[in-house]
């Protein structure tokens, strides 16, 4: 079980596993998720086998610090910058124009990339120690209940590391895309947004 005594060791093991091409089951934003290092061909092949993504459907990339996201963004609407300032680190995923350096596996429809600086302090530390963009996707199969416990279902053979942080809240991240400067909520999650009121949390 993840606690103050085991935290540092768990961060080191998870980061080393990701760098080695593993897929890890880690606590994310209210749910458990599968995680792989975007720059690892072996890790991405394993993740694709676990959670297939069709053509034109990208993944969510995690950054350790808000400033790290700018490397992966071609342009940043002012409204997106305001949301980053207000809610990162936090359970808010932003869909933005991808820069040329974004791994192909992360680029979604319209040349966009989904990014988040996690509110989960443990996960941020893993991303920082892994040294690059980390892919995160929910651990449940389509149609299944969200994975709020690491042991909720049978752990696939492709998973080589599990970090158990107990039962999570079950609330995923809020997802927002942009039409020019206009933010559009794709999914209302843990960060409650009232965009009519300037993107403040509710």
pLDDT tens for 59-117 read: 899 999 999 999 999 999 999 999 999 999 999 999 999 999 998 888 888 899 999 99
Which phi and psi angles does 125 have, rounded to 5°? Answer: -65, -35
Domain at 7-201, CATH from 3.40.50.300, 3.90.870.10, 3.30.465.10, 3.30.565.10 = 3.90.870.10
**193 pLDDT more than 50:** yes
Q: What are the pLDDT digits (tens) for 114-168?
A: 999 999 999 999 999 999 999 999 998 777 888 999 988 788 888 999 999 999 9
User: Tell me, what's the pLDDT at 51?
Assistant: 87
The reported pTM is 0.92
Is-contact 160 86, C-beta < 8 A?
A: no
> What CA–CA distance (Å, rounded) separates 86 from 201?
9
Task: Tell me the backbone φ, ψ of residue 46, rounded to 5 degrees.
Answer: -65, -40
Q: Which two tokens stand for residue 9?
A: 């060791």
pLDDT score, position 55: 55
The alpha carbon of 53 is separated from its chain's Cα centroid by a whole number of angstroms, namely 15
Comparing CA positions, the residue from 86, 97, 155, 123 lying closest to residue 10 is 123
């Amino acid at each position: 079980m993840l606690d103050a005594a085991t935290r540092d060791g768990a961060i080191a093991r998870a980061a080393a596993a990701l760098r080695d091409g593993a897929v890890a089951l880690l606590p994310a934003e209210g749910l458990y998720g599968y995680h792989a290092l975007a720059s690892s061909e072996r890790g991405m092949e394993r993740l694709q086998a676990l959670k297939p993504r069709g053509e034109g459907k990208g993944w969510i990339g995690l950054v350790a610090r808000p400033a790290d996201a700018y490397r992966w963004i071609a342009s940043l609407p002012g409204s997106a910058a305001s949301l980053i300032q207000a809610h990162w680190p936090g359970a808010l995923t932003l869909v933005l124009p991808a820069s040329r350096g974004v791994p192909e596996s992360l680029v979604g429809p319209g040349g966009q990339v989904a990014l988040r600086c996690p509110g989960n302090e443990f996960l941020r530390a893993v991303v920082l120690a892994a040294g690059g963009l980390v892919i995160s996707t929910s651990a449940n199969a389509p149609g299944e209940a969200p994975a709020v416990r690491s042991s909720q279902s049978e752990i696939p053979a492709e998973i080589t590391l599990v970090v158990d942080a107990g039962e999570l809240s079950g609330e995923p991240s809020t997802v927002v895309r942009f039409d020019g400067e206009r933010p559009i909520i794709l999914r209302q999650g843990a960060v409650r947004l009232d965009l009519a009121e300037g993107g403040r949390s509710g």
